[in-house]
Amino acid sequence: MDKFIIHGGRKLKGKVKVSGAKNAALPIMVASLLVDGKVTLRNVPDLRDIASIGEILRVLGMRVERTGATTVELENVDEKRVEAPYELVSTLRASVCTLGPLLAKRGRARVSMPGGCVIGVRPIDLHLKGLRALGARIEIKHGYIEARARRLKGTEIYLGGPYGSSVLGTANVMMAASLAEGETVIENAACEPEIQDLAHFLNRCGARIEGIGRPILVIRGVRKLHGADYRVIPDRIEAGTFLIAGAITRSRITVTNVRARHLAAFLDKMRSCGVEFARKGNSIEVIPPRRPNAVDLITLPYPGYPTDLQAQITAYLACAKGISLITEKIYPDRFMHVAELGRMGANIRKEGSSAIVRGVERLSGAPVMASDLRASAALVLAGLVAQGTTEVGRVYHIDRGYEKIEEKLNALGAKIERVWEKYPVRDAPQ
Ligand code: EPZ
């Protein structure tokens, strides 16, 4: 198991290029189950999660090949395979999205229930509600979702849940509806750029989806979808993480291959912290203040402030001038980073689904533990600015969603060593 040793207090400089979006590439790879013909995807990041979904799709009878540094080819080979096993699905929640395409294309699916994770229970009731509305017969047996459907039929579906729209719920139902008979209307659909990218990919394959980027999607089912050559959008969460890396180290770095429009809420909040941005084409230069202003923040579905950038900005606000209130409206328990930041001298108190962050002058390096993808990124950011050395254990969490993060940060002037952790720290005693 690897860990990072981060030598804090170093200024960064130069440019860093953002990779392709993990959360667009994942559902788009799954959508290839719907296609007759070859799919070539470009700008696909080389990440653990991408390798995992590739493994699951191979088990489901697809040829999945990385034919270049960021190019992946996919093709259906054996459509009799309809089971996604627990040992693979439990490693990657996004695999629940195979349900819709398997039902629509092959008429059957047996997919293990995805587990929860440290950020929350992660239910899939909205996925099942949408697929049942399209006519699927679904039972949960022995931890597996057993689903059948002759031909799905279009209908009107309200897909909002207690926390608003569902990203992968919208993906699952939209993919299934693409091959259903007739028209499907999804109300309270997710508008995230990654879902927009999935819809554009499906239309490139011959689907007929309208309302992309708006909360009401209209999908007219077609009989078949053909192969396509498609480029995945840049990863807005990785971009935001690097912009915070510049701000937290008070460095004027430039992040390239960014779509600023996908980060409007984030950039607006960072401006409230006192950060300025110089935009040039698809690059953004960070112009940071000496110390951020404290701000209040609420995470919301897109176009609101993204929950996937909550832990990272919390690390930044740990040294703000004043007290910030951060409220999680998507995953109320998504504060695993709070205790670890506390070990580094941050003064943060969790109150229900909020965190009260009292800004301190500086953080000090300490051994900390990664727990989930974005909390781990927050600890790396804190380590960049903390006095002394920070050790971040279990960096496999980071490798799930950030392509070579230590190489990219070291190229900017950071000093991060990846070392093998002979005796990994066990989970805290219960
Ligand atoms: C996607 O997860 C992302 N993952 C998550 O990113 C991201 O945090 C999340 O959307 C919210 O933006 C991928 O795209 C692979 P949701 P998803 O369904 O689709 C509740 C990362 O760090 N809900 O939009 O699983 C749910 O509990 C990951 O890259 C239901 O109640 O999230 C949550 O509170 C972490 N019933 C809220 O909705 C359901 O059937 C939003 O969840 C589904 C969800």
Which three-class secondary structure string do you get for 126-180?
Answer: HHHHHHHHCCCEEEEECCEEEEECCCCECCEEECCECCECCHHHHHHHHHHHHCC
- The 10 Å Cβ neighbour count of residue 151 is 15
Atom of ligand 1 nearest to the CA of 129: 40
Sign of CA dihedral 136, 139, 144, 148: negative
End-to-end Cα distance, the chain: 22
Q: Model confidence over 45-100: pLDDT tens digits?
A: 999 999 999 999 999 999 999 999 999 999 999 999 999 988 988 889 899 999 99
Q: Tell me what percent of the residues of the chain surpass a pLDDT of 70.
A: 98
Give the mutation target among 53, 117, 140, 167 for probing the ligand 1 site: most ligand atoms within 8 A of CB: 167
Position 91 scores a pLDDT of 86
Position 114 scores a pLDDT of 85
What does pLDDT average to over the chain? 95
Angle between helices 22-31 and 48-59 (to 10 degrees): 10
pLDDT band at 138 (very low <50, low <70, confident <90, very high): very high
Position 71 scores a pLDDT of 98
The CA dihedral of 300, 306, 307, 312, to the nearest 10 degrees, is -140
Question: If you take atom 14 of ligand 1, which residue's CA is the nearest one?
Answer: 23
Atom of ligand 1 nearest to the CA of 119: 35
- Check pLDDT > 70 for residue 14: yes
Query: In one letter, which amino acid is 78?
Result: D
Least confident of 103-117, 126-140, 184-198, 301-315: 103-117
Give me the mean pLDDT over the 161-181 stretch. Answer: 97
Give me the mean pLDDT over the 157-179 stretch. Answer: 97
- Check pLDDT > 60 for residue 428: no
φ, ψ for residue 165 (rounded to 5)? -75, 165
Give distance in angstroms: CA of 51 to centre of ligand 1.
Answer: 20
Q: Pick left, alpha or beta for residue 97 (phi over 0 → left; psi -120 to 50 → alpha; otherwise beta).
A: alpha
Least confident of 15-24, 270-279, 369-378: 369-378
Atom of ligand 1 nearest to the CA of 237: 29
Atom of ligand 1 nearest to the CA of 94: 15
Question: If you take atom 30 of ligand 1, which residue's CA is the nearest one?
Answer: 123
Question: If you take atom 9 of ligand 1, which residue's CA is the nearest one?
Answer: 167
pTM of the model: 0.97
> Distances from the Cα of 130 to the Cαs of 106, 209, 293, 302, in angstroms?
18, 16, 43, 20
Position 426 scores a pLDDT of 57
Position 90 scores a pLDDT of 87
Kind plus residue range of the DSSP H or E element containing 144: strand 144-148
- Check pLDDT > 50 for residue 24: yes
Question: If you take atom 5 of ligand 1, which residue's CA is the nearest one?
Answer: 308
Which tokens sit at 284? Answer: 């953004």
The residues lining ligand 1, judged by C-beta closer than 6 Å to any ligand atom, are 23, 26, 93-94, 120, 122-127, 161-163, 166-169, 307-308, 330-331, 373-374, 401
Position 424 scores a pLDDT of 65
Instruction: Give the C-alpha separation, 360 to 10, whole Å.
Output: 19
Alpha helices, H only, 207-287: 236-248, 264-272
Q: Model confidence over 225-243: pLDDT tens digits?
A: 999 999 999 999 999 999 9
Instruction: Give the C-alpha separation, 266 to 258, whole Å.
Output: 13
Question: If you take atom 43 of ligand 1, which residue's CA is the nearest one?
Answer: 124
Give me the mean pLDDT over the 406-414 stretch. Answer: 98
Q: Model confidence over 239-250: pLDDT tens digits?
A: 999 999 999 999
Which tokens sit at 208? Answer: 């007929």
Give me the mean pLDDT over the 198-221 stretch. Answer: 98
Contact assessment for residue 29 and residue 382, using Cβ atoms and an 8 Å cutoff: no
Instruction: Give the C-alpha separation, 28 to 168, whole Å.
Output: 11
- Residue positions annotated with a catalytic role: 117
Position 430 scores a pLDDT of 42
Contact assessment for residue 90 and residue 45, using Cβ atoms and an 8 Å cutoff: no
Give me the mean pLDDT over the 178-184 stretch. Answer: 98
Complete domains list, the chain, with CATH: 2-17+234-420 (3.65.10.10), 25-231 (3.65.10.10)
What strand order describes the sheet that includes 108-112?
83-84, 108-112, 144-148, 137-141
The CA dihedral of 335, 341, 342, 347, to the nearest 10 degrees, is -80
The count of C-alpha atoms lying within 13 angstroms of the C-alpha of 173, restricted to the half-sphere facing its C-beta, is 36
